[in-house]
Amino acid sequence: MKPHTIILAISQDRLRDQVAAAIRMIPSANLAACTADLMNTFNEVEAHLPRLVVISSDLAAQTEFAAMHELFTSLNVKWLVLSLDGGQTAQNIGLPQLPATSSRRDLSATLQATLTGRPQSTIAGHRQTRAKPILAAPVPPKTATGQPAVILIGASTGGIDALISVLSQFGANCPPTLVVQHTGAGFGESLAALLDRQCHANVSLAKDGAPLEHGHIHIGAGLRRHLTLSDRGPLRCALVDGLPVSGHLPSVDMLFRSGTALGAKVTAALLTGMGRDGADGLLALRRAGAHTIAQDQESSVVYGMPRAATELGAASQILPLNQIGRALQALPIRPTPHMERARS
């Protein structure tokens, strides 16, 4: 029998060791990784796609967990909350729970039952996302007064929750939007489906040649090709073969650089993430006349990519996460020569 892979995400060292010992009592279980924070948990779950994640309730109570849980549950990863707070966290998000005070034998028995039990999505009380609203008919791409022709967004570590925050502020008839989110292969469809449930606009995995229409958001994630804007004919998505750029495939830098020909018709944002992918591309966009935004340090899970962009002078604005969605949808008022003379 193929062993069931388990990951432990428990902040307390002693408790993590206790649960690990209980897992080793299960012949069909394989403990793939142990983590103490959400960032490393996301990376390990993405790498191993385990059958079960046992997570302590203090980690499950963090804001970012809801999006991470929903994404991985859609890939049939089960979750079990080890309760440090009397089960309140698990009840709030509809997850099965296990008291942290359980004996090693009880822990082992409960874990074994969970491994062979029902899929997570069938558990009574599982949190439901809101229904998708009825959308208006797409409008051919054009620059409406005060609106950009295209919105470009890049994100990495912590980006899933950030994208939900930003894109949920978009209207059903928002400007056509392209997003690159760093994630592992095979996660693109699940991420697009998660975002589609959270947004008024239509969200889908980017396809080569897809036309850019109002009310549509194209996600470049889990692809082994770069997502770019087509430079031939009407505006379309283009998936381009190539080597990683700035260490990533798809790369935010590639997406941003492909939008420079549109100049001032573009607004772009670089969100939370490790490294510097997107910083050079954001600078190229700003130099081409685009309005560019970097997420601020306080609201970033990892202030790497936005920091690099800020240090380069690539951002027209530095904003907290909760203001970026609305800022992306409105072109800033640019002074005319008449306005400049009036100021002097």
Catalytic annotation, pick one of 57, 83, 102, 156: 156
Name the least confident of 97-101, 136-140, 214-218, 252-256: 136-140
Domain coordinates in residue numbering, the chain: 4-122, 150-328
pLDDT digits (tens, 9 = 90+) for 63-113: 778 777 777 776 778 888 888 866 565 555 667 787 877 787 888 888 888
Whether residue 121 is predicted with pLDDT greater than 80 in this model: the reply is: no
Give the mean model confidence (pLDDT) for residues 243-270. 95
What is the distance between the alpha carbons of residues 212 and 328, in angstroms, rounded to a whole number?
Answer: 17
Q: Does 108 participate in catalysis according to the annotation? A: no
Greater confidence (127 vs 294) lies with: 294
What is the distance between the alpha carbons of residues 232 and 250, in angstroms, rounded to a whole number?
Answer: 20
CATH architecture of 4-122: 3-Layer(aba) Sandwich (3.40)
110, 62, 123, 47: which is closest to 82 by C-alpha? 110
Q: Regarding the domain with residue range 150-328, which homologous superfamily does it belong to in the CATH classification?
A: Methylesterase CheB, C-terminal domain (3.40.50.180)
CA distances from 325 to 143, 151, 163, 178 (A): 18, 10, 9, 14
pLDDT digits (tens, 9 = 90+) for 37-69: 887 888 788 778 888 999 998 898 887 787 777
Whether residue 184 is predicted with pLDDT greater than 80 in this model: the reply is: no
What is the distance between the alpha carbons of residues 248 and 27, in angstroms, rounded to a whole number?
Answer: 39
- Residue whose token pair is 């990892």: 302
Joined tokens for residue 335: 């002074």
Catalytic annotation, pick one of 253, 277, 280, 296: 277
Whether residue 130 is predicted with pLDDT greater than 70 in this model: the reply is: no
Q: Do domains 4-122 and 150-328 have the same CATH topology?
A: yes
Q: Does 156 participate in catalysis according to the annotation? A: yes
For residue 54, give every residue at least 6 positions away whose Cβ sits within 8 Å of its Cβ, in sequence order, or none.
6, 7, 8, 9, 10, 19, 80, 82, 98, 111
Give the mean model confidence (pLDDT) for residues 131-143. 41
Neighbouring C-beta atoms of residue 27, cutoff 10 Å: 8
Q: Does 277 participate in catalysis according to the annotation? A: yes
Whether residue 334 is predicted with pLDDT greater than 70 in this model: the reply is: no
Residue pair 284/140 in contact (Cβ under 8 Å)? The answer is no
Catalytic annotation, pick one of 4, 69, 182, 218: 182
Average per-residue pLDDT for the chain: 83
136, 231, 222, 141: which is closest to 179 by C-alpha? 222
pTM of the entire predicted model: 0.68
